[in-house]
Structure 1
Amino acid sequence: MTAPVLAPLTAALDGATQLVAAVAPEEWGRPTPCAEWTVRQLVGHLVGGNRMTARVLRGEPLPPLDQLGRRDPADQLGDDPAGAHRGSAEELLAAFGLPGVLDRAHTVPAGTLPGPALVHLRTVETLVHGWDLARATGRRVPFPDDLVEPELAFSAGLLGRLPAGRSPFGPSQPVAGDAPAVDRLAALLGRTPG
């Protein structure tokens, strides 16, 4: 049985998995709203983040911080990008489901966080990069407002607590107040919905 706190992450991962599965062979090299990444690198980043978080949750050591991010994110995908993404999502959910994981704090590159906050971080990461992927490939974003609104509130609160110069996101961008929640989340984290 899935813990209720994992339901939003599960839904976000399902939507992202659908987006990744729909990427056509000629779309993997397309640019994304993340200026430094192609579609393949963006998906590799998601896969790498899922795998890294699962390692942390299982109590396995991470490489030294100065080693993280040195490889091309696309290296995570092998010959089956959709399978790599699906497998990393399953691995992440299994790790969050381990006994006691949600009751403990875990240290990831962003800091030491309680289990539920780490669920939020992975959910936000999946939603925003899912938005990036949908934009890059011209597909509909599969995340309903009721899934995104709590993550938008979480992200707004988190941004207010980050030390100056420590944000991994671009400056927030203007967006209409009645825009879909996922567009407002993307704008909050530096994207330009248009």
Structure 2
Amino acid sequence: MVQLDEVLRDLHAESEALDRLVSGLAPEDWSRPTPAPGWSVAHQIAHLHWTDEAATLANADPAAFIARLGETLVDPLTFVDRAAAAGVAPPDELLPRWRAGRAALVRALTDVPPGERRPWFGTAMSPLSSATGRIMETWAHGRDIAETFPDDERAREHLRPTPRLRHVAHIGFRTIGHGFESHGRPAPAAPFRVELATVDGDLWTFGPEDAPNRVAGPALDFCLLVTQRRAAADLALRATGDDAIAWLGVAQAFAGPPGAGREPGAAAR
């Protein structure tokens, strides 16, 4: 079993890697548009900070989080964009804010009594799951930022997969049913088997070997799909079974309403 302190170490490493990338940018680069429509680099970091703050509140004061959740979900289709826009600030303000929020989240997660779960958007999560989700979000939004600077060697280095990607793959597997449900469809009753090849030659496997629904391919491609950073048509994933084939079109590892995803071929433009 993976332990919370191990996941928190990987969350720290993923956050620090992104911190090194953005702290080296010129102030004007923070306004550069990223692959996420309507989002600049500053929007991406503001979103990570906002989500860290929300997770801190959920773990430290669940009642206050539930009260804020009721206000947030008045307009569930736009609150993420609105929150990111509201958090945009110059880098000398936004960077310290993001760093302080990351530290506060770690304290909140480690203070949750063992075995307890805390509310989240549409579900309840253990500290372990919450920390894993933060790795997933940090990796995905960090990728958007790195892809904004294709000629920067630091950005290209940031895009190289690390073993921390297994956390993203794991949450992608665990949320297969959620992908269907977020699109208003029942979760499949039959199990899934996922087999993912890493750039180091390892094979990550999830689910029973005899599952009728199977997804296989590169680990990076699977993670790009479940975070909706690439369309399935642009990835080397193979699906077997009706539910697995259908899942390629609804995959979503993050909580909340269905994401817009990326258009096929968007990465090449």
With the length of structure 1 as denominator, give the TM-score of the two structures: 0.79
- For these two proteins, the number of residue pairs brought into alignment is 184
Change (3 A) 1:91 1:166: farther
How much does 1:145 deviate?
2.3
Aligned position for 1:6: 8
**1 CA distance for matches of 2:24 and 2:184?**
34
Q: Pick which of 180-189 and 108-117 moved more.
A: 180-189
The structure, 1 or 2, with the larger RCO (C-alpha pairs under 8 Å, 6+ apart) is 1
1:190 to 214, 228, 231: 228
**Tell me, which stretches of 5 or more residues in structure 1 are unaligned?**
168-176
Change (3 A) 1:82 1:181: farther
**1 CA distance for matches of 2:117 and 2:198?**
36
2:175 to 158, 164, 167: 158
Letter of the aligned partner of 1:109 in structure 2? Answer: F
How much does 1:143 deviate?
6.3
How much does 1:188 deviate?
3.3
Which portions of structure 1, spanning 4 or more consecutive aligned residues, are displaced by more than 6 angstroms?
177-180
Q: Is the 8 A contact 1:105 1:114 kept in 2?
A: yes
Aligned position for 1:145: 162
**2 CA distance for matches of 1:183 and 1:39?**
23
Q: Pick which of 125-134 and 53-62 moved more.
A: 53-62
With the length of structure 2 as denominator, give the TM-score of the two structures: 0.59
Q: Is the 8 A contact 1:15 1:143 kept in 2?
A: no
1:98 to 111, 133, 146: 111
Q: Is the 8 A contact 1:78 1:84 kept in 2?
A: no
**Tell me, which stretches of 5 or more residues in structure 2 are unaligned?**
74-78, 186-196, 200-217, 231-266
SS at match of 2:119: strand
Alignment of 1:38-187 (within 5 A): 38-60=40-62, 61-62=64-65, 63-67=68-72, 69=79, 71-79=82-90, 80-100=93-113, 103-138=115-150, 139-140=155-156, 141=158, 144-162=161-179, 163-165=181-183, 181-182=219-220, 184-187=222-225
Identity of aligned residues (%): 21
How much does 1:148 deviate?
0.7
Letter of the aligned partner of 1:25 in structure 2? Answer: P
How much does 1:130 deviate?
0.9
**2 CA distance for matches of 1:183 and 1:89?**
27
**2 CA distance for matches of 1:142 and 1:94?**
29
Q: Is the 8 A contact 1:15 1:142 kept in 2?
A: no
**2 CA distance for matches of 1:184 and 1:154?**
11
Q: Is the 8 A contact 1:44 1:77 kept in 2?
A: yes
Change (3 A) 1:135 1:99: same
Q: Is the 8 A contact 2:11 2:132 kept in 1?
A: yes
